[in-house]
Amino acid sequence: MSLTINHIVGARPNFMKAAPVILALQKHPAIRQKIIHTGQHYDANMSDIFFRQLGLPRPDINLEAGSGSHAVQTAQIMIRFEETVVRERPDLVLVYGDVNSTAAATLVCAKLGIRVGHVEAGLRSFDRTMPEEINRLVTDQLADMLFTPSPDGDANLEREGVAKEKIHRVGNCMIDTLVRLLPEARPPTMEGVDGKFALVTLHRPSNVDDPDNLRALWEALMEISRQIDVVFPLHPRTRARLESLGLITDAPTHRRTDAPAPQRAGLHLLEPLGYLEFLALQRDAAVVITDSGGVQEETTYLKVPCLTMRENTERPITCTEGTNILIGRDLDRLKVEVNRVLEGSARPGRIPALWDGKAGERVAEIVAGYCKVRF
């Protein structure tokens, strides 16, 4: 008897988390897998290239939900996924992370009586102004299996009343992908960057949607670039905001890794990069400045100093055990911490338990055992 599992992915972070689970479940011949791409990220640089580089099969179904406000996007995914899941009737649906696709698919499954497993459950920023926090809370209350990456995830779920038997600490699936592909990572060619550099990635509304905040951040990065080259792959959202403020007028419209990047002083602007190129830049960077959750985890594993431009994090273990420091909007502190790195005084970090490249295998074993009992 074969069982069908649907994997729901919609945005880049999902792909890195789903890949090790999909690969591990291929070892279980009684389990049939289908990948459903919601289309939340639909740009080729933001989506297609990741499937190629991660070695993932092409999606079986693309819902092509596209962009829109959180309400519109979530509603579109729910409408289109409901039609699919009613037709497909999978035995289990696996969702990943905290994007709109995750919460939307979970809500549909809960109302149709289809079991759900949530990979990367239990993370909390305790900041409900973040849409991702709402997605995490909704998904974890409805899921049947919750796979956590760290002890704080277990504690958060238990405090919220989730039954202990639903909680499985498996480690960090995103780190599985990093471990597997790090040997293949090669940086893009960047003319003028020959030594140490700072890597920047910013996309959250709190940083890029407020014109005053973004202008101040830009000025701080320009100041930092006088001490060290700053490499800044531009998220489409960030590029649009910088252009609207007149801070850049010649941002690249396509990426060629064999061509020189546009440059001001020591600031190098790039288009969004594929997973392997960006991973190589993280590995080689002297310091990373970010507002990304996944980058906080990856830099912790790589033991690269990470300065996070947020007031909080849903990944506190990256601060208590890893290399991450929360900067918030304190740009003076940002400059101080960059100077500390350049002086060789960066805080040491260690890799958290179970971040060992085998989390996907643990998820697959638990899922296979669950399927034997339930179906």
> Which residues are catalytic, by number?
203
The angle that helices 275-284 and 293-302 make with each other, rounded to 10 degrees, is: 50
- CA 75 – CA 370 distance, rounded (Å): 30
Give the list of residues 6+ apart from residue 326 with CB closer than 8 angstroms, or none. 308, 310, 311, 312, 313, 319
Question: What are 42's two structure tokens?
Answer: 């639909």
3-class state of residue 275 by DSSP: helix
3-class state of residue 319 by DSSP: helix
Question: What are 220's two structure tokens?
Answer: 């701080």
| Angstrom distances, CA of residue 140 to CA of 161, 162, 341 | 10, 8, 38
- CA 193 – CA 189 distance, rounded (Å): 9
Q: Where are the alpha helices (DSSP H) in 59-163?
A: 70-88, 100-112, 131-142, 151-159
